[in-house]
Amino acid sequence: MKSERFVAGQLWIERNRRREGPPVVYTVMSGKSVRPFTDTKAILKWVKWPKGTPTGDALRDWLASFEQKQETPAPELDMAKIKAEGFGPEAHDDDPTANTKMVV
């Protein structure tokens, strides 16, 4: 998956989107310690970078830029179109024995 990075001196943060597990994982390296995070508030608490500094403000802006992006909702499924054109299990009748005959 695509990752975004924030680097400032000894602070290094990488944001990864995952298919399995938590949807977003932040890998944070500060000094010689590395920790994974899923919550931005926990990152700010662990890093302890002051708010008034240029790096602290840049870090908060970088983290806030991901919260502003809204995830696009999944489109509604058109079941009539799926039944007409689909080939998966959702395109078939609910009863798997509808068109079967018993041979004795």
Per-residue pLDDT reduced to its tens digit, 21-63: 888 999 999 889 999 999 999 999 999 888 889 989 999 999 9
DSSP letters, 45-69, are: HHH---TTSHHHHHHHHHHHHHHHS
Position 71 scores a pLDDT of 61
The residues, any chain, with a CB within 8 Å of residue 20's CB and separated by 6 or more, are none
**Residue that has been written with the tokens 């890998």 in this structure:** 27
pTM (2 decimals)? 0.62
The pLDDT value recorded for residue 9 is 86
User: Could you report the per-residue pLDDT of 63-104, keeping only the tens digit for each?
Assistant: 998 876 656 666 787 778 877 777 776 666 677 777 788 888
Decide the pairing of beta strands 33-37 and 11-17. Answer: unpaired
Question: Tell me, what's the pLDDT at 66?
Answer: 83
